[in-house]
């Protein structure tokens, strides 16, 4: 029974040491990943490029770029006509008469005629719109992939920074362990002194 207990205790202590080491490595990786000033000092050009890329994605640059590409392919959008304001439409409808059913029928008939006469023009405009939509749909995953890479690059811990942070954490923990050991020794010494005084 004593051997099994000793083996189990040794396994628990070994697992605790492995866990503590993993926690130290995790803390070092986290600190190295978010240590932006150190990254800028080591490679300022790369840091500026990553910051510019992240900023470009954050302010909606890809969306603006796609809109400009669409405008370049399709041409500028037609501005709204200035002559067809709601008051003018209302006046035109009143001039058609007061019989609502007749006015509605007239508008429906005129609109159907308009659709028939402009059908060829509308179909010729639909092809570039479909091509642009396909291009935007195809390019979106690529832009998202590039954005992900930029973010990963911005927060990836460098090997030097990771080792530096690892050493800092290990020295801090060693100092804390030494202080705790000194405090325990002092407490034991005080307890012994108190026991001697009680024994007198």
Mean pLDDT (10-residue bins), the chain, 200 residues: 81 87 82 77 81 81 81 74 66 78 83 85 72 79 81 70 79 86 86 80
Q: What's the pLDDT at 83?
A: 56
- % of the chain exceeding 70 in pLDDT: 90
Beta strands in 36-157 (DSSP E): none
Span 98-134, pLDDT tens digits: 777 887 888 888 888 888 888 887 777 676 777 777 8
Boundaries of every domain in the chain: 1-33+158-200, 59-157
| Whole-prediction pTM | 0.38
* Residue 1 DSSP label: -
- Give the 3-state secondary structure of 112-158: HHHHHHCHHHHHHHHHHHHHHHHHHHHHHHHHHHHHHHHHHHHHCCC
């Amino acid at each position: 029974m004593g051997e099994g207990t000793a083996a189990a205790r040794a396994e628990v202590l070994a697992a605790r040491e492995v866990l503590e080491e993993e926690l130290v490595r995790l803390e070092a990786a986290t600190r190295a990943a978010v240590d932006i000033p150190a990254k800028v000092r080591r490679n300022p050009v790369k840091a500026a490029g990553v910051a510019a890329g992240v900023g470009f994605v954050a302010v909606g640059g890809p969306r603006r770029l796609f809109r400009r590409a669409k405008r370049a392919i399709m041409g500028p959008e037609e501005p709204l006509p200035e002559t067809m304001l709601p008051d003018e439409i209302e006046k035109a409808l009143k001039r058609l008469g007061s019989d609502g059913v007749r006015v509605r029928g007239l508008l429906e008939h005129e609109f159907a005629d308009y659709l028939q006469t402009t059908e060829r023009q509308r179909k010729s405009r639909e092809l570039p719109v479909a091509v642009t939509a396909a291009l935007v749909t195809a390019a979106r995953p690529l832009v998202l992939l590039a954005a992900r890479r930029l973010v990963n690059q911005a927060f990836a811990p460098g090997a030097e920074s990771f080792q530096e942070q690892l050493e800092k954490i290990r020295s801090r923990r060693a100092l804390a362990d030494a202080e705790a050991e000194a405090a325990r020794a002092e407490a034991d010494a005080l307890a012994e002194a108190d026991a001697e005084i009680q024994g007198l």
